[in-house]
Amino acid sequence: MSIDLDAMDRKELTKLRGDVDKALTSLDVRRKAEARKAAEATAREMGFSLDELMGASTKAKSISPAKFCNPDNPSQTWTGRGRQPGWIKAGLQAGKSVDDFLI
């Protein structure tokens, strides 16, 4: 099959690109499903589950306890991980120490 791209206008080319992108995505989804099915079958033959081999954990992700709280609103807490909340930033700019917010 040959397509004369030079004979197509912008609208037709854009539609063609969208169709190609959809087809590629669909192909990837199908191939990944086939690969997973084959990998699961091979793992089963060896006496394992694919999750065991891939190191998937059945444990729920643990949540870190809060270490800091907003003195003006104790319901606002922070674990000390990730981005600093606005109330911590404001306190630091006002001359407070992070230790002033410890629970």
Closest alpha carbon to 84 in 68, 62, 103: 68
Query: Based on the domain organization, do 46 and 72 belong to the same domain?
Result: no
Instruction: Tell me the average pLDDT across 26-55.
Output: 91
Give the C-alpha distances (Å, rounded to integers) separating 79 from 13, 61, 82, 87.
51, 15, 8, 13
Does residue 59 fall inside a structural domain? Answer: no
Closest alpha carbon to 103 in 71, 72, 73: 71
Residue 70 pLDDT > 60: yes
pLDDT at 58: 54
Query: Based on the domain organization, do 39 and 74 belong to the same domain?
Result: no
> Distance between CA 19 and CA 70 in Å, rounded?
52
Q: Both tokens of residue 42?
A: 């091979």
Query: Based on the domain organization, do 11 and 47 belong to the same domain?
Result: yes
Model confidence, pTM: 0.47
Domain of residue 17: give its range: 7-54
pLDDT at 53: 86
- pLDDT tens, 54-69? 876 555 566 788 899 9
| CA–centroid distance for 20 within its chain | 26
